[in-house]
Structure formats: C-alpha cells, structure tokens
Amino acid sequence: MSTPASAAPSVCSLPLPSGVKQSNSTLVDPHGAQATEKSDTKRGFRFWMVILAICSSLFLSALELTGVSTALPTIVHDLNGNDFVWVSSAYSLAATALLPMSGGLAQIFGRRITMLLSIALFALGSALCGAAQNMNWLIAARSVQGAGGGGLLSLSSIIISDLVPLKERAIYNSLIGVTWAFAAALGPLVGGGLAEHGQWRWLFYLNLPVSGVAALLVIVFLNLRAPPGSWTEKLGRMDWMQVGNVLIISSSSSVVLGLTWGGVRYAWSSARVIVPLVVGLVGMTIFVLYEAKATKNPIIPMSLLSNRTSLSGYIQTFICPVVILAAIYFVPTYLQACKSASPIRSGVLELPYAFGMGVILVVTGTTIAVSKVYRVQLWVGWVAFMVAMGLMSTVHAETSTAHIVGYTVILGFAAGIVYSATYFPVLAPLPVSENAHALALFSFFRSFAGVWGVTIGTAVLQTQLSHRLPAQFIEEFPGGVSIAYSAIPVIPTLAEPLRTQVMSAFADSLAVVWQVMIGIAGIGLVSSIFMKGLPLHTEVDENWGIEEKKRGGITVKVELPARQPA
C-alpha cells in the first residue's frame, strides 16, 4: 500500500518480534496511517498463555461450586445451621452485585488489574470460608468469594471477546467449557471425599494455591492494552453510587427471604412471607424503570435489548443456569437422601453428567464454528432439557441408580448445548464495540440466575417436605424442615420403616422440583423461537488486545484478526 508523502516513517512490512506469530496483523505508523495484511490465523505463545490464565481462573469457581453442592449436607450438619439456601444465594447475589462494576473497572483500569482484583477477592473469600465457625460466618465469607467469582466470570468473557472474533469464538468457548466441565466433574469427588473424612474446609483452602497460579499467569502473560490516564482520573470516572446494584440486590434478597420462609417457617399467607415478596417484586419493578429512564450508566442498557435476537438470547441465558443449578444442587440431595450414597459416591455417580456436558460443549462449539449456525443447536438443547427433566420427575426412591445416571447424562447433554450456544444470539446483532457492555450483562444474567435456580428448588423442596416427611422424623429436629436437610447424613442410620418413609418423602418432593423445572425449560424453548439466524462477526474491537510491540518507531499490533465486514 502507499501512504501520504508527509507520513514518516512509511509503513512497511516488518518481521514480527521473536516468539510472536503474525495473525491478520494491522500495521500502524506514528502518524496514524494504517494497513491490514491478511495472513494465517495461527495464535502465538502469549495468546495461549492468556487462554490458560482464563481457564485457570474459571477452574476455581467451577470446582468450588460443584464441590460445595455435594458437601453441603455435611457442612450444614457440622455447623449446626438451617438456612442452607444462603450458602449458594449469598455467593450468587454477591457475584451479581460486582458484575456490573467489574465491567466498568475493566473499561477504566484495564483487564489485567480487574482480573487480579477478582482473583484476590475469591482467594480471600475462600480462606474465610475454610475458617468458618458457624453458618453466619460461612454465608458472609461466601459473599466475599462470590464478589470475586463474579469478576472472574465477567472478565473471562470480555478478554476472549477482545482477542477472538465472534466467528471463531465457538472453539475457544468450548475450551473454556471443557475446563468448566472438568472442574465440575472433579468438584463433587473432591468435595465428597473431603466431606466424608470430615475435612470439608480444605475444599475452600485448596482454592488458595490455584488462585496463586492463576494470578501469576495473569501477571506474566495478560499484558493487554489499558486505557490512558492517571489513577486519580480513572477513579473519578467510576460510578460509585451503583443505585441500580442496590435496588436489584436488595429486591432479590427480599424475594429470596419470602420464598425460603414460605410454607416452612411461616405460612404462605403470613405477613412475614407476603411482605418481603411484595417489597422485592416492587423493588424489581423500580429497578427496571430506573435502568430505562433515570440513569446514564445503566446495568442493563436497554439498547442491548432493543432487538429480538439479543433479547431472546438474554432470556435463554437467564433460564439455562436456573435449570442447571437446580440439577447441580438437588441431584446430590437425591443420591444422598434416597440412595444412602456417601458424599464421595454421589460425586462418582455425577461424573457421567459432567463428562457428558464436557463432550457436548466441544461438539456444540465445533458445529457452530463450522456451520455458523446456532439456532438449531439451541432448539435441540431446550427440547433435551425438557425430556431430561421429564424423566427425572418420574424418579422414586426405588428407581435404580443406573436409571438415575442415564437421566443425568441426557441432562448433561442438554446443559452443554444450551450453556455454550446462548452466547451467540446475544452478540450476533450487536456491534463489536458493545462487547464489554453486552458480555457484562450476559454474565449478570447468568450469575443472577444462580440465585433463582437454588432458591426456587429450595422453596419447592422445603414446602413439599413439610407435607411429606413423617411427623416422627420432624419432631427429632425442632428447627423444622431446614434442619431436616442437615440430617441427610443420618438417614441411613434410621430404623425401619422410618428410613424408607423419609427416603420416599425426599424422592417425591424432589419429583415436584423437576416438574417445576420442566416448565422453566419450556419458557427457554418458547423464547428461543423468536431469535433470528444472523451471521457471526469476523472482527474484534482494536481498542483492546495484546499489548503492541514497537520496533524502529513503527507499532506492530499482533494477535488481532483483521477487520472484515460481518
């Protein structure tokens, strides 16, 4: 190409720095002249180290999430607790609270600093969880841990979008998905084994060395471009009030209180149940109005929801974790309460689910990358979700373990398809300049859904147990049905016929949970009908990416795909 005569020095082809592979590179001179040279799409060593740093960070949250679900009955029993739902809800609410701020921090301070802050918060929360002496301590520590986990979730998606165009992203999302699935397979084994030997605290302490490795990888390799400006200027640009955050978190907490108290501690008609439900729902309505009309920096930019494909994608993004989290938390409950499975055995029985999910994540990513189609996969996934939940709803205490494992494999296939594919209808209609905002909102919906998956399942389970558990069993636990959950580890020691009656009560109550999940998955299927099949972007936002290398006064941007029309 040629440049204006006044431009000096001229743009020319230069050899890339040692160890860096050229990949659709853009060459820029000091005066702004720019050229795009198309070459192969091989990724260099630093790129893959960035991917490794991201996978290491996500491995933490997935391992801990699934490990806690298996060890939870033992943890609640040891800490003499009753509000077990808050062990999960506190994490999800805190993650949801920090997600919008993490997106803003990443835009103002850069990706690396925000990622390191998230890892540090997650490690601190893990240490506090391991040291917990009672349930209130554990719940507070889970909030700190969730704040870090939310940042990890958001930053991982944002960094991938900075480096890889949407057209190629399915493969890299599959790698991250396999990491998540591997951690999900390992988590129940680790959590179950530690709980069975009275060492559940190490489930949290093990996060500390992994956090250190992840932080080291981020420091060494995640050298991405950062916005200019002093720390004072950047701090001044932050929206510290976060009124939207306060509204959505307080409203959600109020609704969670009402749902978990209803039919268990107090009657559904009690003011102590109705008031928090009404206050929470009104608060959520105010939150939507505030986001739409009253703030310049909304958590939920309405422009991202202004087209039906992105709106459909966001609805599916929310519905999917509701069903997945219900399965992650209540399949171990069934295995331990109804099959007398030890924590570690229940972890082993969940392996086919996790492996099935991991395999289908790769298959789904590959089919999207090759075909550039995402709608068919999502439709298949939602139908499979409904079939899997329908099969689970037929399970009784006498159902064979082989049948349960087979049903969870189908559930894992459905989860893998939908979890990996909802990303694409969200981003396909939006310009790449909206990646950070769109993905922060994507992560917000995904994290916020975690609150509802466990809360809805818990509300249904506790209400059903209060009607089905034998009076003799409940009388042994004055704290009510919540305390009865902590008694799961002692069910195998009960005398007959009480043991069989309790097992049947748990199985029949969980069947209702799965029936509710059929309806929720149905909402996901209906919402998927409205998305369009749009082409996938072949460009990235060049304001972000691996740090530029300078040679002889000429800047060589590496690791970035060429901009091409979508």
What integer pLDDT is reported at residue 378 of this predicted model? 95
What integer pLDDT is reported at residue 5 of this predicted model? 35
Evaluate the CA torsion angle 548, 550, 551, 554 in order and state its sign: positive
What integer pLDDT is reported at residue 19 of this predicted model? 35
Evaluate the CA torsion angle 456, 457, 462, 465 in order and state its sign: positive
CATH of 45-239+297-528 among 3.30.70.20, 1.20.1250.20, 3.20.20.70, 2.40.50.140: 1.20.1250.20
* Cα distance between residue 55 and residue 368, in whole Å: 21
Adjacent-strand bridge partners of 557: 26
Residues of the chain with pLDDT under 70: 1-42, 81-84, 100, 103-104, 107, 224-242, 260, 262-264, 297, 299-300, 435-436, 476-487, 537-566
What integer pLDDT is reported at residue 225 of this predicted model? 66
The pLDDT tens digits of the residues spanning 155-191 come to 877 788 778 877 777 777 777 777 877 777 787 788 8
| Cα within 13 Å of Cα(412), Cβ side | 29
Which of 151, 188, 157, 218 has its CA nearest to residue 64?
188
Q: Tokens standing for 556?
A: 């060589």
- Which residues 6+ apart lie within 8 Å of 130 measured at CB? 201, 202, 203, 204, 205
* Cα distance between residue 443 and residue 440, in whole Å: 5
The pLDDT tens digits of the residues spanning 205-224 come to 888 888 888 888 888 887 76
CB 515 within 8 A of CB 508: no
What does pTM read for this prediction? 0.72
Q: How far is CA 259 from CA 21, 87, 96, 341, 525, in A?
A: 55, 15, 19, 29, 25
